[in-house]
């Protein structure tokens, strides 16, 4: 296929605006799939994607299309819409020259519409604005086109109306892709350079890598080299997704496809790496991708400790398929051996946990999510920590810094007041208000990420009756009055229950925590003090009263001194037991505290 007849494009939009439905309709109307094969979400092949109705993994498909006696190859990449899969979108756009910017005619411009549009503009892509769902009774295409004009500068005439569900206007979109998206640059006669933009592990074929060829030609049987590791492999199969896997003999500059080369080691492949010819390698490495920085962390532990090795293998496979996810081993006195995992957001964390349980059949326990903090020490060094048990001695800490997110709320105008109150309660700093239309507003706040990840998204949906959306980006670290809150049971510190809190909320949080533990820890033969402390200062306390055996039950009548003697003997025994007795904290107590944190 000549490069001038290739069009690489992506579909970007807010979640649930119809990206996957439009991708399905384009496949049907170009003849890539038949009416018999057509079903909802053709490209979403994960059970989780189908159940939730969202795209989690980007998918690439090559479409052959005839127009005016000329054959074109349209390489479509269907991308996720949720804020947590922002990195997946940026990787996909790097393999394209154009993007369809899709907006729902009933909902208008949303938070992720804005974020993804700017991603496409940063990548210097040709953008084709599309207004979808015009067949709906509540559709308002003229108003939405005006919103597109005020937000991005697209005139109403440039916005292509369509209904992905019925197919209305889709032919016009396909023509616009051919006419407006530029052909890929690159020379088929240059040395081979291909960008790895995704990969996944197949237990029979090894690692399958997805590549976009920038220059040169890739052939079956060719020996290739990965520039970042210098590892070499023989290409055993080469192909494209149309939309099912179809083998081909060669791929040339501008095309997108997959490569199977008997790669067994998961760690040999890096997303963003450059593939070149081993015999005649190119010295110019492609820029690749900026490494994603996980901002939300939690511990993942197997319910059964015998599953530890299975969990490690499962995490290795997932990290190959999702390079924005990271993990490292950790141990916890309450939960045993597990892994400290890093995610881009709360939905990302939830999806990974569900994929582990479903795809690998492992029962998991998750700890409460936390974020990365930067600590300035008295010796003028700075360290990053993502877990309370890694906090050094308080006397060595000069300052704490926490990650700050710039959050854009797109909301109906009548919900502005409650959202502003929500942000103020979570230490938010107001930046500005913008009006999309008379009834819809963008509110921009700076919020600590630790406050954002707990419940802001759920509260927003509740306040706006489901009409509000948010998008956020991490803008840096800011100094804050944070403290590490320790929990002590029977005067012994329990590291697994320590948390990092703002000093202002520490007492309230500590009180709730000790009350919860009092309910969950069983009574012993001696009283147990459950305390929350900051440094050496106790800020909350509850006492679990002792079990008491009635030692005077057999004494009836007679001298009272006999009863007193038995009670004194019991008292001495309890005193000795309190000195040497140990309190066993059941796993359900740890889980109850984690549940309280997430609430």
* Per-residue pLDDT tens digits for 86-102: 555 666 777 788 999 99
Residues 6 or more apart whose Cβ sits within 8 Å of residue 408: 111, 114, 115, 442, 443, 444, 470, 471, 472
Distances (CA, A) of 448 to 377, 451, 453, 486, 585: 21, 5, 9, 22, 32
Mean predicted confidence (pLDDT) in 44-51: 46
Give the per-residue pLDDT at 132.
92
Give the per-residue pLDDT at 445.
92
Residues 6 or more apart whose Cβ sits within 8 Å of residue 442: 114, 408, 409, 410, 433, 434, 435, 436
Q: At what angle do helices 86-93 and 111-122 cross, to 10 degrees?
A: 30
336 φ/ψ sector (left φ>0, alpha ψ -120 to 50, else beta) = left
Give the per-residue pLDDT at 591.
60
What percent of the chain is modeled with pLDDT above 70?
83
Mean predicted confidence (pLDDT) in 75-90: 62
User: Which among 1, 8, 65, 23 has a CA at the least distance from the CA of 212?
Assistant: 8
Give the per-residue pLDDT at 42.
52
Q: Tell me if 135 is assigned to a ligand binding site.
A: yes
Cα(418)–Cα(426) distance, rounded to whole angstroms? 13
Q: Tell me if 484 is assigned to a ligand binding site.
A: no
449 touches 370 (CB < 8 A): no
List, as one string, the DSSP characters of 177-192.
HHHHSPPPP--TTS--
Q: How many CA atoms lie within 13 A of 75 on its CB side?
A: 30
Confidence of residue 79 (pLDDT cuts 50, 70, 90): low
Helix (H, G, I), strand (E, B), or coil: what is residue 467? coil
Give the per-residue pLDDT at 176.
92
Q: List the domains of the chain with CATH numbers.
A: 3-180 (3.40.50.300), 193-277 (2.40.30.10), 296-368 (3.30.70.870), 374-480 (3.30.70.240), 484-598 (3.30.70.2570)
Confidence of residue 52 (pLDDT cuts 50, 70, 90): very low
Residue 292: how many other CB atoms lie within 10 Å? 20
User: Which among 360, 383, 358, 363 has a CA at the least distance from the CA of 373?
Assistant: 383
Confidence of residue 81 (pLDDT cuts 50, 70, 90): very low
Cα(156)–Cα(179) distance, rounded to whole angstroms? 19
Alpha helices per DSSP H over 335-486: 346-359, 416-425, 449-463
End-to-end CA distance of the chain: 55
Cα(109)–Cα(101) distance, rounded to whole angstroms? 10
- SS3 annotation, 490-554: CCEECHHHCEEEEHHHHHHHHHHHHHHHHHHCCCCCCCEEEEEEECCEEEEEEEECCCCCCCCCC
Q: Tell me if 500 is assigned to a ligand binding site.
A: no
Where do the DSSP E strands lie in 160-305?
160-161, 193-202, 206-215, 217-219, 223-226, 232-234, 237-241, 245-247, 250-252, 256-260, 274-277, 296-302
- Chain position carrying tokens 């009092």: 518
Q: Tell me if 21 is assigned to a ligand binding site.
A: yes
Q: Is the pLDDT of residue 426 over 50?
A: yes
Mean predicted confidence (pLDDT) in 452-481: 80
Q: Is the pLDDT of residue 198 over 90?
A: no
Give the per-residue pLDDT at 54.
46
Cα(65)–Cα(129) distance, rounded to whole angstroms? 22
pTM given for the model: 0.66
Q: Tell me if 14 is assigned to a ligand binding site.
A: no
Q: Tell me if 299 is assigned to a ligand binding site.
A: no
Q: At what angle do helices 416-425 and 449-463 cross, to 10 degrees?
A: 150
Q: 500-542 pLDDT, tens per residue?
A: 888 888 888 888 888 888 887 877 777 888 888 888 888 889 8
Taking the CA atoms of residue 530, residue 535, residue 536 and residue 541 in that order, the dihedral angle to the nearest 10 degrees is -20
The CA-based angle 167-173-178, given to 5 degrees, is 140
Q: Is the pLDDT of residue 367 over 50?
A: yes
Q: Is the pLDDT of residue 48 over 80?
A: no
Q: Tell me if 19 is assigned to a ligand binding site.
A: yes
Q: At what angle do helices 170-180 and 19-29 cross, to 10 degrees?
A: 90
């Amino acid at each position: 296929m000549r490069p001038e007849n290739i069009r690489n494009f992506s579909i970007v939009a807010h979640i649930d605006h119809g990206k996957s439905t439009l991708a399905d309709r384009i496949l049907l109307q170009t003849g890539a799939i038949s009416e018999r094969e057509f079903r909802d979400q053709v490209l979403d092949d994960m059970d989780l994607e189908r159940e939730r109705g969202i795209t989690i993994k980007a998918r690439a498909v090559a479409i052959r299309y005839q127009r005016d006696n000329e054959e074109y190859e349209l390489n479509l990449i269907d991308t996720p819409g949720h804020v947590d899969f922002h990195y997946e979108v940026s990787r996909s756009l790097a393999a394209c020259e154009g993007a369809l910017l899709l907006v729902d005619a009933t909902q208008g411009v949303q938070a992720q519409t804005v974020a993804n549009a700017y991603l496409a503009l940063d990548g210097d892509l040709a953008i084709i604005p599309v207004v979808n769902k015009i067949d709906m009774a509540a559709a308002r295409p003229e108003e939405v086109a005006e919103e597109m004009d005020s937000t991005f500068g697209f005139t109403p005439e440039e916005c292509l109306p369509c209904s992905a569900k019925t197919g209305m206007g889709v032919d016009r979109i396909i023509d616009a892709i051919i006419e407006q998206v530029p052909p890929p640059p690159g020379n088929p006669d240059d040395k081979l350079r291909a960008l790895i933009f995704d990969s996944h592990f197949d237990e029979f074929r090894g690692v399958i890598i997805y590549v976009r060829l920038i220059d040169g030609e890739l052939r079956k049987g060719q020996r290739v080299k990965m520039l970042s590791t210098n590892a070499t492999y023989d290409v055993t199969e080469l192909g494209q997704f149309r939309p099912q896997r179809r083998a081909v003999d060669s791929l040339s500059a501008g095309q997108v496809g997959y490569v199977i080369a008997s790669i067994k080691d998961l760690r040999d492949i890096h997303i963003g790496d450059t593939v070149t010819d081993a015999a005649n390698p190119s010295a110019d490495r492609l820029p690749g991708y900026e490494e994603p920085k996980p901002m939300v962390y939690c511990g993942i532990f197997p319910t059964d400790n015998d599953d530890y090795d299975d969990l490690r293998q499962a995490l290795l496979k997932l990290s190959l398929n999702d390079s924005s996810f990271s993990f490292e081993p950790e141990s916890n006195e309450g939960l045993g051996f597990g892994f400290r995992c890093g995610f881009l957001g709360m939905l990302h964390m939830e999806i990974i946990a569900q994929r582990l349980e479903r795809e690998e059949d492992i029962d998991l326990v998750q700890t409460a999510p936390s974020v990365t903090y930067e600590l300035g020490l008295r010796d003028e060094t700075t360290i990053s920590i993502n877990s309370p048990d890694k906090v050094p001695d308080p006397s060595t800490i000069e300052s704490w810094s926490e990650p700050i997110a710039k959050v854009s709320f797109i909301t109906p105008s009548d919900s502005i007041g409650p959202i502003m109150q929500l942000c103020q309660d979570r230490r938010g700093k107001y930046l500005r208000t913008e009006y999309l239309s008379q009834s819809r507003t963008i509110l921009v706040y700076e919020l600590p990420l630790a406050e954002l990840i707990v419940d802001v998204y759920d509260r927003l949906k509740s306040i706006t009756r489901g009409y509000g959306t948010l998008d956020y980006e991490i803008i840096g670290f800011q100094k804050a009055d944070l403290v590490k809150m320790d929990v002590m049971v029977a005067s012994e510190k329990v590291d697994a229950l320590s948390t990092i809190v703002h000093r202002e909320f520490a007492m309230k949080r500590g009180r709730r925590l000790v009350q919860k533990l009092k309910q969950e820890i069983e009574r012993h033969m001696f009283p147990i003090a459950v305390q929350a402390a900051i440094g050496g200062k106790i800020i909350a306390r509850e006492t679990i009263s002792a079990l008491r055996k009635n030692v005077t039950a057999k004494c009836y009548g007679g001298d009272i001194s006999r009863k007193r003697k038995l009670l004194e003997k019991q008292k001495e025994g309890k005193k000795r037991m309190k000195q040497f007795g140990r309190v066993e904290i059941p796993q359900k107590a740890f889980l109850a505290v984690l549940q309280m944190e997430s609430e």
